[in-house]
Chains A and B, each alone.
Chain A
């Protein structure tokens, strides 16, 4: 065979050889980006898993605190109903099943991610987890995620299970906080010990364990604060209450026509921080029959990165005060309330109460002010309503006709066969 012939044959066979070879190519493609689950089964990934739980809780808290504030009239709508707005139903204090899927979904994901992370840490670390700070942090996110669900949502549903009373969240929260205290103590992390203790105090109050609540609260200093951080990294991590109310461009809510407008104007209480603009007087759109309303933007959350309190020492004092009121110790309760009011940071006149009704009213208002825009108001109202606590709130504080909790959305009802 000559060289020329060989070349001709090889030319003719080249495409065939090429195609035959291609037929043998593997049809696999490993794509970068999303992380496959098995890659998280390593000690190195645990911090990211727990941070993810923290971020999930931050985003859920963002939504629940904002919409909860609108429904509980901590804020008044200023117009926008779409992005960052308050729907017409929410403006009227109604949380419709179709409206709150985001709140439910994000809150449940926060709970699941934290609980899954805790289980993963225990699975990977074994007994070494018992004094591991990452586990303590995961347990604290678990506790706060469950507390938020318990305070704000009507039904309890865990991992595709049946509908239960929402108290199931408190049970899980208390268990998580209790374990967190132990792990954090073993890890010698005082901040996490206080955070877990303060969280458990609030949960125990909701569960009616007044002695336990008071005991936990007493273990936390008044100056302590455990806060959920927010970041400018991307929009989901912005403090939503700030961003929705800012001129960026939504101006979707206002302090105008709320209880706080009057309190602030009469007392200058710094805990009720809001401001107005000399050039932009109204919100971004009409609010039902009210038309355009004055835009008094809250400044408690003054930037995208404003933290939201999860627990503070002053909340602990109010827990102690509530326990005292439950135990009919009015002077003791009022002393704790006024300790905060007359503190250097607040410096507003003390309030007095001689009757239980007045004392309860003072406590309710103090918690209203102290925990303003922190996703706590609905839980307080449910607790007091359930226990039939005295103290009639004023017209702007009343919740007549308004919902006290987020109902279970269709996203759960229609997908969960056990519900």
Chain B
């Protein structure tokens, strides 16, 4: 690998050499300025691209809709406006000398614009009309709420995208699933690119203990996605399946999310500042009698100044963000962003502080080469409260009342767990540079090099005198992940006459990812002290390092005819260091087509614009670094060297391949006021990687990854957005997203059905995966007197019954935006998810220990009154009869994701060009249909990203109330 490193170094030098100061840019010329407003509402349109066609002159509108750029030479020019959600508009004007020119534009809504440029999933970039697959887009300007995290921003916004998992603890992340479960053995997190740079998508390690009872912490996992400052984002593109993600090759089967950050525009420096303040508040997650399931005394402020108001589990949060952007002449544009956030959780030790900085620079060091440089750094400090399925955590001991590990429910006694210190520090740096060489009009070559480094310190201290470990324990984990990626794309346009066009593209990608961690652990301090790992008398350490390399090349040709028929064919070939030694390169083909039907002569223009599309393609998912190799584990024994069997290995191991077909259309009617995006997909995973259980008597106990399975999934994604009213004083827009997803395990390749944990099973002919457990057959029948527990179980329980899928099969999201006087608007988003099941283990763990549990209050009253119990009551509320497998529930729910009030204030604040006030309430209402308590979107001890989630002794994510003052000057 030193060879590669040397070349990477040289590459960096090469890029640096390109970054020499620009030659003297053309100075002089005229300044073009103006305002872009919405034709219907007269409201300013922010973020619109304004540029002189055929040149690099241009800019972007500020929040007041104004733009300006300078240096435009004499002559007649065409100025074009492009804004997401609006139809493009252009005007012709003649520049004479240096006299400034004012050009104002009004733009008309057209949420589906076929000329909008997208880049994700295509070689280089393409107009939407040319793309045969669906691409989801979220434009931050369309998100009125105060974004708290990137995950929250995506939640409920796009058909086919679900965000779930996480808990109410500080630093808890959420999992992203695009079109449900793609793999039952590997991660289902999509790939995440930021400005073309491959970044980490899987969770960070939790702050637990590496040896023994590992759950001595908060048992939550942070998400790298939440290191990104939402205020820095301009838009997010989402390709959801293999048909669209083929060119990303191995690892892209679960889809790709690409985040584009804001960039500077020509002209004077423009400042934008945002000041947020608000609070997190725990919402009821128990019964009416026990709304917080005995956690009431342990929330922040429970004994504080709001005590007289009753339980008021809330923590404050505030933050600020300042951005300055601008440009110097034609050749230099910049954006600098600074942010800081402080977020107190609802648990007393929970706090998250973030400091974020970003610098994006675009410049032309020499003619015909444009360079973009992106750098971001994020420092996150997280303090947590011990929780989860942790015998030394607050939630478990509170839930279990007098049957807890303290042997009593006294709040002061349980509160001793707060003495544990759980502190994490995440330093995240993402650097990326893209050089685009355009030597001739028809050819460009784009090279991106990226570096993503996340460094995490988890410090976990149970001090001297801590309950259960009176001599104390400390652990310090230093973990890091670095990903180096390159992406080279070359495109050439062949114009064969006026009707026929071919864009041929080819390139390479290289991703080198390394995860390392070192852990120091010690216990038994000699005295009360502020310890380090050196303080303990018994010390242990651990180290893990894993590197995975993927390299691939791709080629693609886009054939266009009359600018309305498009056919794209392409392929990617990949190698990966985790493939088995007998396994070669993998090829992933793709073909897609689109037809802009509405531009045909036969089309009645009253029917609006319509694009039909179809796509077919493959992508893969590579196994883990060690999966192919037979290995033994160096375990040691009493200080002596020792090894034991670890992984049986598989020399033929390769990636699982997902091949997907998409059919759909994009339709816009009534002058862009009603837009429909419809997609049907069917994906089949062959060579699916399953953990095939080893035969225990053969010594290797771990399951072995093998390409034995076959699965499929299919579904509909329908996004409908409509402008119901669009008048100067009133506008009403509504949106509806409908997603269905059905999956099936077609073959286990001869392997037995296997568990993926948390009651999740992979069974031939069933959804992938399903929840399996004990189904109560006659829940409402009365139990005859004298029935024994054994009889009750034998007569009323179906063992190994299949409840249903672990992932939702139906997601319906709705949004409503009402604009009123002075453009004051209120918007709301809600989402229903259903059709899936989840194991709720916290109730079982309490009930089986004879805890008087809130959901069994009715049963206890019946018992006290000597009344007959029903079968369900007898099984699920009587400790001796309860079984873990019974606690499986339908996970259907409806949630209000956010309600936001936006008040534009124009120039009300002196010295500003515009300002606005935003009030946003997120996650404020939930209605379960199935589970009596808890939040079906919660996760268990194993975090947000397992194949199947379950619910353990956690609190759900709180509601967030935020207000924000946004000013531009």
CB-based contact B697/A108 at 8 Å: yes
**Most-contacted residue by chain B among A31, A247, A284 (CB, 10 A):** A31
Residue in contact with B629 in the complex, picked from A36, A233, A288, CB distance below 8 Å = A36
CB-based contact B211/A235 at 8 Å: yes
Cα–Cα distance between A189 and B128 once the two chains are bound (Å): 80
Cα–Cα distance between A8 and B407 once the two chains are bound (Å): 78
Q: Say if the beta carbon of B152 comes within 8 Å of chain A.
A: no
- Contact partners of B507 in chain A: CB under 8 A: 19
CB-based contact A104/B407 at 8 Å: no
Q: Smallest CB-CB separation from A160: which chain B residue?
A: B695
CB-based contact B551/A27 at 8 Å: yes
Given A19-B488, A109-B645, A27 and B576 contact (CB-CB distance below 8 Å)? yes
Q: Say if the beta carbon of A211 comes within 8 Å of chain B.
A: no
CB-based contact A286/B879 at 8 Å: yes
Cα–Cα distance between A8 and B439 once the two chains are bound (Å): 12
CB-based contact A27/B550 at 8 Å: yes
Q: Say if the beta carbon of B633 comes within 8 Å of chain A.
A: yes
Cα–Cα distance between A284 and B551 once the two chains are bound (Å): 55
B629 to chain A, nearest CB (A): 6
Q: What 0/1 pattern do residues 139 to 178 of B give for CB contact below 8 A with A?
A: 0000000000000000000000000000000000000000
Chain B binding site: helix, strand, loop or mixed by DSSP?
mixed
Given A22-B7, A289-B880, A415 and B366 contact (CB-CB distance below 8 Å)? no
Residue in contact with A51 in the complex, picked from B447, B546, B637, B849, CB distance below 8 Å = B637
CB-based contact A105/B642 at 8 Å: no
Cα–Cα distance between A111 and B698 once the two chains are bound (Å): 10
Q: Say if the beta carbon of B306 comes within 8 Å of chain A.
A: no
**Size category of the binding interface on chain A:** 35 or more
Select the stretch in A81-89, A216-224, A322-330 that faces chain B.
Answer: A81-89
CB-based contact A52/B642 at 8 Å: yes
**Residues from 459 to 484 in B contacting A, C-beta threshold 8 Å:** 467-469
Q: Say if the beta carbon of B527 comes within 8 Å of chain A.
A: no
Cα–Cα distance between A197 and B468 once the two chains are bound (Å): 43
Given A11-B366, A52-B643, A291 and B850 contact (CB-CB distance below 8 Å)? yes
Residue in contact with B642 in the complex, picked from A28, A34, A51, CB distance below 8 Å = A51
Cα–Cα distance between A378 and B550 once the two chains are bound (Å): 54
Q: Say if the beta carbon of A356 comes within 8 Å of chain B.
A: no
Q: What 0/1 pattern do residues 106 to 121 of A give for CB contact below 8 A with B?
A: 1011011100100000
CB-based contact A37/B632 at 8 Å: yes
Cα–Cα distance between A23 and B506 once the two chains are bound (Å): 13
Q: Say if the beta carbon of A74 comes within 8 Å of chain B.
A: no
CB-based contact A36/B445 at 8 Å: no
A233 to chain B, nearest CB (A): 7
Cα–Cα distance between A250 and B392 once the two chains are bound (Å): 11
**Residues from 257 to 309 in A contacting B, C-beta threshold 8 Å:** 280, 282, 284-286, 288-289, 291
CB-based contact B488/A33 at 8 Å: no
Q: Say if the beta carbon of B22 comes within 8 Å of chain A.
A: no
Q: What 0/1 pattern do residues 635 to 664 of B give for CB contact below 8 A with A?
A: 111111111111101000000000000000
Q: Say if the beta carbon of B866 comes within 8 Å of chain A.
A: no
Given A37-B632, A108-B696, A22 and B392 contact (CB-CB distance below 8 Å)? no
- Contact partners of A397 in chain B: CB under 8 A: none
- Contact partners of A111 in chain B: CB under 8 A: 697
Q: What 0/1 pattern do residues 30 to 41 of A give for CB contact below 8 A with B?
A: 011111110010
CB-based contact B625/A31 at 8 Å: yes
Q: Say if the beta carbon of A161 comes within 8 Å of chain B.
A: yes
Cα–Cα distance between A286 and B11 once the two chains are bound (Å): 66
A60 to chain B, nearest CB (A): 11
CB-based contact B697/A29 at 8 Å: no
CB-based contact A37/B468 at 8 Å: no
Q: Say if the beta carbon of A16 comes within 8 Å of chain B.
A: yes
Q: Smallest CB-CB separation from B514: which chain A residue?
A: A29
A343 to chain B, nearest CB (A): 30
Cα–Cα distance between A81 and B850 once the two chains are bound (Å): 12
Cα–Cα distance between A22 and B553 once the two chains are bound (Å): 11
Q: Say if the beta carbon of B746 comes within 8 Å of chain A.
A: no
Q: Say if the beta carbon of A229 comes within 8 Å of chain B.
A: yes
A134 to chain B, nearest CB (A): 12
Q: Say if the beta carbon of B4 comes within 8 Å of chain A.
A: yes
Residue in contact with B468 in the complex, picked from A22, A55, A161, A247, CB distance below 8 Å = A247
CB-based contact B848/A88 at 8 Å: yes
Residue in contact with A112 in the complex, picked from B538, B698, B848, B879, CB distance below 8 Å = B698
CB-based contact A82/B845 at 8 Å: yes
**Residues from 569 to 628 in B contacting A, C-beta threshold 8 Å:** 575-578, 625-626
Residue in contact with B7 in the complex, picked from A18, A56, A234, A238, CB distance below 8 Å = A18
Cα–Cα distance between A112 and B392 once the two chains are bound (Å): 37
Given A15-B447, A27-B549, A415-B752, A109 and B699 contact (CB-CB distance below 8 Å)? yes
- Contact partners of B697 in chain A: CB under 8 A: 108, 111-112, 157-161, 412, 416
CB-based contact B437/A104 at 8 Å: no
Cα–Cα distance between A39 and B31 once the two chains are bound (Å): 72
Residue in contact with A37 in the complex, picked from B3, B631, B640, B845, CB distance below 8 Å = B631
B953 to chain A, nearest CB (A): 11
**Most-contacted residue by chain A among B407, B643, B698 (CB, 10 A):** B643
B513 to chain A, nearest CB (A): 9
CB-based contact A32/B643 at 8 Å: no
CB-based contact A235/B213 at 8 Å: yes
CB-based contact A34/B646 at 8 Å: yes
Cα–Cα distance between A291 and B850 once the two chains are bound (Å): 8
Given A40-B643, A233-B636, A286-B850, A414 and B693 contact (CB-CB distance below 8 Å)? yes
Cα–Cα distance between A28 and B628 once the two chains are bound (Å): 13
B886 to chain A, nearest CB (A): 13
Q: Say if the beta carbon of B909 comes within 8 Å of chain A.
A: no
**Residues from 381 to 418 in A contacting B, C-beta threshold 8 Å:** 409, 411-412, 414-416
CB-based contact B637/A232 at 8 Å: no
Q: What 0/1 pattern do residues 538 to 566 of B give for CB contact below 8 A with A?
A: 10100111111111010000000000000
CB-based contact A249/B468 at 8 Å: yes
Q: Smallest CB-CB separation from A91: which chain B residue?
A: B880
Q: Smallest CB-CB separation from B436: which chain A residue?
A: A15
Given A18-B11, A28-B577, A237 and B637 contact (CB-CB distance below 8 Å)? yes
Q: Say if the beta carbon of B292 comes within 8 Å of chain A.
A: no
A210 to chain B, nearest CB (A): 30
Cα–Cα distance between A225 and B929 once the two chains are bound (Å): 62
CB-based contact B638/A229 at 8 Å: yes
A42 to chain B, nearest CB (A): 12
Cα–Cα distance between A19 and B448 once the two chains are bound (Å): 10
CB-based contact B550/A282 at 8 Å: no
CB-based contact B643/A49 at 8 Å: yes
- Contact partners of B696 in chain A: CB under 8 A: 101, 104-105, 108-109, 409, 411-412, 415
Cα–Cα distance between A280 and B467 once the two chains are bound (Å): 13
Residue in contact with A54 in the complex, picked from B540, B629, B642, B699, CB distance below 8 Å = B642
CB-based contact B850/A285 at 8 Å: yes
**Most-contacted residue by chain B among A25, A108, A288 (CB, 10 A):** A25
Cα–Cα distance between A415 and B632 once the two chains are bound (Å): 22
A69 to chain B, nearest CB (A): 21
CB-based contact A27/B695 at 8 Å: no
B604 to chain A, nearest CB (A): 49
Could you give 18 example pairs across A and B, Cβ below 8 Å?
A: A18-B447, A19-B488, A29-B549, A32-B545, A34-B629, A37-B630, A37-B649, A52-B644, A88-B880, A105-B696, A109-B699, A112-B645, A113-B699, A159-B698, A249-B392, A280-B407, A291-B850, A414-B752
Residues of B at the A interface (CB closer than 8 Å) are 1, 3-4, 7-8, 10-11, 14-15, 17-18, 211-213, 366, 369, 391-392, 403, 405, 407, 435, 437, 439, 445, 447, 467-469, 486, 488, 507-508, 510, 538, 540, 543-551, 553, 575-578, 625-626, 629-647, 649, 693-699, 701, 752-753, 845, 848-850, 879-880
15 further A-B pairs in the complex, CB-CB below 8 A; given A47-B641, A247-B468: A14-B15, A18-B11, A21-B7, A25-B1, A25-B4, A27-B576, A31-B547, A37-B632, A51-B637, A58-B637, A83-B391, A112-B698, A231-B639, A285-B849, A412-B697
Leading 6 A-B pairs by shortest Cβ distance: A235-B212, A112-B699, A14-B14, A34-B631, A51-B642, A286-B850
